[in-house]
Amino acid sequence: MKLENYISGKFVESDSGEWMNDYSPATGEIIGKVPKSNERDVDKAVKSAKEALPYWSSLTHNQRADWLDKIADCLELKYENIAHLESKDTGKPISLAREVDAYRSVKNFRFFANMIRDLEVEYFEMEDATNRVIYKPVGVGALITPWNLPLYLLSWKVAPAIGMGNTVICKPSELTPMTADLLMKTIDEINLPKGVVNLIHGDGKSAGSPLVSHDDIDLVSFTGGTSTGSIVAQSAAASFKKLSLELGGKNSSIIFNDCDLEKTVTGVVRSGFLNQGQVCLCGSRILVQEGIYDQFIQKFVEEVENMKIGDPSDENTALGALISPEHLSKIEEYIRIAKQEGGRILTGGYPCLPKEFENGNWIAPTVIADLSVESRCSTEEIFGPVVTIHKFTNDEHAIQIANNTRYGLAGSIWTEDLEKANRVAESIHTGMIWINTWLHRDLRTPFGGVKDSGIGREGGRWSIGFFSETMNICTKHD
Ligand code: NDP
């Protein structure tokens, strides 16, 4: 499969004439080729988005919401195709690609269509004047996304961005370009006005970096690693581009003595290992109160060992492959570090190669105990199927451990005492906390982190706010 950039309503090769391979994480085979775009491609894409802006931004909210619905309708027809491409490109189980990636990609367009249609002008009356607050487009947006939830995250940005009247250039991860291409084909099929959505493939250095620093980019929405986020922030700040950063996480699952143990174990296994632990929200630090520590560990390890790892296209597979050989090496290195730091591997910790996939990137789900809460493995983002378990005594101790990282994205609390859960939740320095559940999303709520996990919030009205400029018009009465 040879993919092309999508600029001004046309599929085109890169000006560079260079190509990059797209590999299957499960088998190591080459499954596609993507253009290695450069600053000239970026320039063309930005020009196309700029030219499309006057017409697109002149449409009403309702007209643009209708376009979002058209995209959702057309994507919905490709539901199975999205799931298969995503599973093949990322190595994730097909059931997950169907339930999470395909489902949310369609839902994101539908959700923002409804939200934008319902947007009302706000009025603030004074005794002698009326204030009218309106939403205007920001301009041309750069939307940069990672490889773990490719279309899910891209659609999360494209829908509110174009819904609010901006035109955009998408830059998906070079590792997972397939469903971004499918979205462009969908947009082409429904004849969305040309230039409203453009896409350039390529890596961060040759395509992402010139895109962020381009003079005609007004807004940058970036999801990815914290170190890349820092580079993006510095580049965007030079010309005061509107910026949203959704970055890494090292999230705690806090488990109290009085939790419902069965449900908690199932919930915490899911939060530790969904998508092979490659979700920014994954609960990779498991804090267990001392009264149930041994009992929890026994049940938890049993349930982890019962997860079926293997062929991503098998409906019963729970764990697939890791995204790349480099990522696998990084995770193996963290397991080595854990051993040096005095960690005890309770299960996993070794490469695990299903026979037909011996050239893919596989590792058994890994549970590590006995590490200090200051250790590297319990404070740094590993972003793989590796969790560390720690013991705590009381609420204050749990809060102190949970806050002891540079990250502040999310977390979960497991207890039957909801008053305690809410009190502890408010003391945790993150943007989101779940109580007795995990990754239970209402798209109207704010999504984002604090500290090194990012700047700003997306989701619901926070996305509307980010992807628009609010303007107040004050009229004095006679
Ligand atoms: P990266 O930061 O490596 O890459 C993210 C995107 O940025 C990719 O498209 C990448 O391109 C691009 N990029 C790289 N360098 C630059 C640059 N200098 N300028 C502009 N763009 C650039 O992240 P990963 O793809 O490895 O994703 C994993 C990370 O994403 C984890 O840390 C995870 O926590 C985080 N994440 C955060 C989420 C959140 O909502 N908070 C959600 C999902 C993931 P390319 O890869 O093609 O080089």
**What is the C-alpha separation between 309 and 351, in angstroms, rounded?**
12
Closest C-alpha among 456, 451, 457 to residue 406: 451
On whether both 383 and 470 belong to a single domain, the answer is no
Q: Is the CB of 90 under 6 A from ligand 1?
A: no
Q: Which residues contact 372 (CB under 8 A, 6 or more apart)?
A: 341, 342, 378
Q: What is the CATH number of the domain that holds 13?
A: 3.40.605.10
**Cα–Cα distance measured from residue 357 to residue 363, given in angstroms and rounded to the nearest whole number:** 12
Rounded CA gap, 163 and 468, in Å?
Answer: 10
For the whole prediction, is pTM greater than 0.85?
Answer: yes
The answer on 131 and 55 residing in a single domain is yes
> CA geometry: angle at 289 spanning 286 and 295, to 5°?
85
Which domain covers residue 351, as residue numbers?
252-446
Q: How far apart are CA 167 and CA 380, in angstroms?
A: 36
List pLDDT tens digits, range 61-107: 999 999 999 999 999 999 999 999 999 999 999 999 999 999 999 99
| CA-to-CA dists, residue 364 to 22, 272, 386, angstroms | 24, 13, 9
Supply the pLDDT for residue 1: 87
Q: Are residues 195 and 242 in the same domain?
A: yes
Phi-psi region of 81 (alpha: psi -120 to 50; beta: other; left: phi over 0): alpha
Does residue 112 sit in the same domain as residue 237?
yes
What's the structural domain count of the chain?
2
In this prediction, residue 107 carries a pLDDT of 98
Instruction: Give the Cβ contact number of residue 2 at 10 Å.
Output: 10
Shared-domain flag, residues 402 and 430? yes
Q: How many helices (H) and strands (E) does the chain have?
A: 16, 22
Instruction: Dihedral sign for Cα 430, 434, 438, 439, please.
Output: negative
Which residue's alpha carbon is nearest to atom 10 within ligand 1? 204
Atom of ligand 1 nearest to the CA of 447: 40
Order of strands across the sheet that contains 129-137? 122-125, 129-137, 468-476
Contacts of 274 (CB under 8 A, 6+ apart): 96, 282, 439
For residue 246, the ligand 1 atom closest to its alpha carbon is 41
Q: Which residues of the chain fall below pLDDT 50?
A: none
> What is the SS3 assignment for 366?
strand
Q: Which two tokens stand for residue 382?
A: 């590993």
Instruction: Residue 367: count other Cβ atoms within 10 Å of its Cβ.
Output: 26
Evaluate: CB of 379 within 6 angstroms of ligand 1.
no
Do 220 and 271 fall into the same domain?
no
Spell out the alpha helix ranges (H) of 225-281: 226-237, 261-273
Find out whether the beta carbon of 450 lies less than 6 Å from any atom of ligand 1: no
pLDDT of residue 177: 98
Q: Are residues 131 and 241 in the same domain?
A: yes
> Minimal CA–CA distance to 163: which of 228, 72, 96?
72
pLDDT tens for residues 435-460?
999 999 999 999 999 999 999 999 99
Rounded to an integer, what distance in angstroms lies between the CA atom of residue 197 and that of residue 183? 10
Catalytic residue at 377?
A: no
Residues 108 and 154 in one domain: yes
CATH number at residue 390: 3.40.309.10
Choosing from 170, 259, 280, 377, the catalytic residue is 280
State whether the beta carbon of 208 lies less than 6 angstroms from ligand 1.
Answer: yes
Q: Are residues 236 and 262 in the same domain?
A: no
Decide: 169 and 211 in contact? Cβ < 8 Å: yes
Q: What is the pLDDT of residues 273-288, one digit of tens each?
A: 999 999 999 999 999 9
Ligand 1: atom nearest CA of 146 is 25
Q: Which residue carries 């109160």 as its tokens?
A: 289
Report the DSSP beta bridge partners of residue 184: none
User: Domain check: are 415 and 436 in the same one?
Assistant: yes
Give the separation between CA 211 and CA 179, rounded to whole angstroms. Answer: 21
pLDDT value for 478: 84
Residue among 230, 275, 282, 248 at smallest CA distance from 381: 248
Task: Confirm whether 352 is a catalytic residue.
Answer: no
pLDDT in tens, 25-48: 999 999 999 999 999 999 999 999
Q: What is the CA radius of gyration of the chain?
A: 23
**Does 136 share its domain with 179?**
yes
Q: 413, 398, 343: which is closest to 371 by C-alpha?
A: 343
Q: Does one domain contain both 179 and 257?
A: no
Q: Which phi and psi angles does 3 have, rounded to 5°?
A: -95, 155
Ligand 1 near 173 CB (within 6 A): yes
